[in-house]
């Protein structure tokens, strides 16, 4: 049955075993994933991943460039997508190295489709969470950028825990002026409380 959570999710499979590629590509297509297959690391490197949430299923032992070497090349090139390693050999040092450098899972052949799909779901859910956090951060920064310099000053002091009275003294302006800037700042940020304004500022990662 097609799971809507798989829509618009891309899976890349790199394995020199043609039967493995065809079998898992067929299964993942049925499950609703977009799938691209490659017979070598070099072939994969010629087709960089798009911005669509994606995951790489990578065989450990490959000709020319092996799985661990490809993982390092991706790290060096800042190609940041989750990697699920697969291998027909119980190689503990390789497993430890792959996980140490960020692999999300290591499946030992033979494994069933359910195990792969479960691992993909976990990996891609982390991607979705990251994308959501980055989008929220981006939108928060846009909101903060709408503030005037004085409104930003007021927000910075309030974030530090100052009252309106102390903020007025710090800025050398009247209490009523601080209240006016605070009200306009709330309006520009689309919030109703100081707590919400502080959360938005922290979410944006703004330093005052």
**Residue 14 confidence class, pLDDT cut points 50, 70, 90:** very high
Q: Which residues pair with 87 in a beta bridge?
A: 108
Torsions phi, psi for 188 (to 5 deg): -65, -35
Calculate the CA dihedral of residues 37, 42, 47, 48 and round it to 10 degrees.
110
Query: 11, 33 in Cβ contact below 8 A?
Result: yes
Does pLDDT of 119 surpass 90?
A: no
Q: Which CATH architecture has domain 146-203?
A: Orthogonal Bundle (1.10)
CA distance linking residue 6 with residue 49, whole number of Å: 17
Higher pLDDT, 15 or 113: 15
Higher pLDDT, 115 or 2: 115
What one-character DSSP code corresponds to residue 173? Answer: S
Of 13-27, 33-47, 102-116, 178-192, the least confident? 102-116
Does pLDDT of 18 surpass 90?
A: no
What's the confidence (pLDDT) of residue 50?
66
Helix (H) or strand (E) holding 159: helix 149-159
Torsions phi, psi for 65 (to 5 deg): -110, 115
Write down the mean pLDDT value for the chain: 84
Task: State pLDDT tens for residues 194-208.
Answer: 888 888 888 888 776
Could you state, in order of their start, the residue ranges of all structural domains in the chain? 4-132, 146-203
Measured from the Cβ of residue 173, the count of other Cβ atoms closer than 10 Å reads 16
Section 93-102 average pLDDT: 79
Q: Which residues pair with 13 in a beta bridge?
A: 37, 57
CA distance linking residue 186 with residue 166, whole number of Å: 19
Task: Say whether 59 sits in a helix, a strand or coil.
Answer: strand
Question: Could you check whether the bond before residue 125 is cis, i.e. omega within 30 degrees of 0?
Answer: no
DSSP 105-138: EEEESS--HHHHHHHHHHHHHHHHHHHHHHHHHH
Section 152-181 average pLDDT: 92
Q: What angle do CA 86, 88, 92 make, to 5 degrees?
A: 80
What's the confidence (pLDDT) of residue 173?
94
Section 128-156 average pLDDT: 85
Of 21-25, 87-91, 160-164, the least confident? 87-91
Is CATH 3.10.20.90 what the domain over 4-132 is classified as, yes or no? no
Q: Which residues pair with 85 in a beta bridge?
A: 58, 106
């Amino acid at each position: 049955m097609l799971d809507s959570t798989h829509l618009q999710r891309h899976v890349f499979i790199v394995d020199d075993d043609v039967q493995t590629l065809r079998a898992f590509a067929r299964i993942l297509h049925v499950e609703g994933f977009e799938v691209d297959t490659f017979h070598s690391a070099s072939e994969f490197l010629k087709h960089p991943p798009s911005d669509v949430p994606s995951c790489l299923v990578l065989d450990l032992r490959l000709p020319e460039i092996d799985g661990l070497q490809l993982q390092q090349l991706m790290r060096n090139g800042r190609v940041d997508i989750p990697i699920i390693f697969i291998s027909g050999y119980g190689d503990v040092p390789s497993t430890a190295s792959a996980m140490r450098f960020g692999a999300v899972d290591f499946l030992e052949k033979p494994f069933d489709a359910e195990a792969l799909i479960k691992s993909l779901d976990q990996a891609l859910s982390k991607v979705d969470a990251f994308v959501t956090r980055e989008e929220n951060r981006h939108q928060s920064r846009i909101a903060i950028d709408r503030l005037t310099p004085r409104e930003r000053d007021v927000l910075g002091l309030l974030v530090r825990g100052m009252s309106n009275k102390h903020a007025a003294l710090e800025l050398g302006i009247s209490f009523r002026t601080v209240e006016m800037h605070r009200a306009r700042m709330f309006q520009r940020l689309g919030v109703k409380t100081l707590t919400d304004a502080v959360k938005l500022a922290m979410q944006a990662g703004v330093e005052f």
